[in-house]
Amino acid sequence: MASAIKPGESYGFFTDTSICIGCKACEVACKEWNQLQGNDPKFLADSYDNTGQLDDQNWRHVKFIDDVPTQTVDAGNGKAWLMMSDVCKHCKHASCMDVCPTGAIIRTEFDTVFIQQDVCNGCRNCIAACPYSVIALNPKTGTAHKCTLCYDRLQGGLQPACAKACPTQSIQFGLLGDLHTAADFRLATLHSQGVTQAELYGRDETVYGGLNAFFLLMDKPETYGLPNADNAKLPTRNDVGGYLAALVTGVLGVIAGIVAFRRRGTS
């Protein structure tokens, strides 16, 4: 696969959460390749998760979600911990790119979303916009950081470090079309096995025009901290409404000023 990586094609991740075992090999591989120091370990009292979130030091984060019911259920019908290796979604319609005022956030020749560190000036508009809480500011560099989808590795014909390290193939890297085919097949298999709650997230265009890093989920997107299709909206949706309200206020403000100041000769 590695030798086939070519500029001009769309690449991405298909993360199958149904086979994620929460080993965090992806986190380690990501940190090692990208020379991320990581944050100081914290005891979060939240399962086996001591990373906590995606941020400037964690470009992969394995979420542990307690989906175990408090009531005992029948054998074979129980639920389990949900594990999901979260990452930048490299959205087709990326909120961060939408609002970035410097042009630092670009779409690469591999159709991935990349923050140019030498251009970013740390305004943090992308952080306010990213609906997945992916981007964070590195206070030392004063710039925004997130997963690059191993842009440097792709340029060298290598697949991303996290996908290479994943022992269960939960994280698959490849051409987007191939990943879609694999995801559709996997979903059909799960549904045929009675796992009807399984669904694909970001496979189609309902979420930000489609995600280059899309997922097979074992519960609703909200359970994983992902906005559903109804809530996946671009920040610029509020441009017209916001400016319109300001315009109306401006007109009324000018009229108010004229009314207050127009009378001559009196105070």
Partner 1 sequence: MIYLAAEHFVRAPQWTWYILGYFFFAGLTGGSYAVATLLRLVGDPRDEPAARIGFYTSFVALIFCPLLLTVDLGASWLKFWHMLIDVTPGDQGLNFKYWSPMSVGVWALLIFALFPTVSALESYVLDRRARGSAGDPGGSRFRTVDAPAAPIGGVLGRAFNIVGGVLALFIASYTGVLLSVSNQPIWSDTWMLGGLFLASGLSGSAALIALLTRYRADAVFSLGRLHEADGYFSILELVLLVAFFITIGAAGTVGMTVSYLPLWLLALVGIGAALVAARGHMRIRPGGGGGSAVIARAGTDTLVVSVLVLLGGLALRAAVIFSAQ
Among 66, 184, 204, 239, contact with partner 1 (rule: CB under 8 A): 239
Which position among 7, 52, 78, 142 is part of the footprint of partner 1 (CB under 8 A)?
142
Angle at 138 between CA 116 and CA 157, to 5 degrees: 40
Contact 214, 201 (CB under 8 A): yes
Which residues, other chains included, contact 231 with Cβ-Cβ below 8 Å and sequence gap of 6+?
131
From 99-107, 156-164, 180-188, 193-201, span contacting partner 1 (CB under 8 A): 99-107
CA atoms of 261 and 263, how far apart (whole Å)? 6
Report the site for partner 1 in 29-88 (rule: CB under 8 A).
Answer: 53, 55
Residue 182: in which H helix or E strand, if any? helix 176-192
Nearer to partner 1, 26 or 234 (CB): 234
Decide if residue 8 touches partner 1 (CB under 8 A).
Answer: no
- Would you count residue 258 as binding partner 1 (CB under 8 A)? yes
Identify the residue among 25, 62, 135, 183 touching partner 1 (CB under 8 A).
Answer: 135
Q: Burial of 76 by CB count in 10 Å (0-12 exposed, 13-18 middle, 19+ buried)?
A: exposed
Among 103, 156, 167, 177, binds partner 1 (CB under 8 A): 103
Residue closer to partner 1 by CB (options 116, 169) is 116
Examine residue 233 and tell whether it contacts partner 1 (CB under 8 A): yes
CB of 57 to partner 1, least distance (A): 14
Query: How is the chain split among helix, strand and coil, in percent rounded to 5?
Result: 30, 15, 50
Residues numbered 162-221 forming contacts with partner 1, rule: CB under 8 A: none
Which listed residue (95, 159, 170, 212) binds partner 1 by CB under 8 A? Answer: 95
**Biggest CA pair distance of the chain:** 89
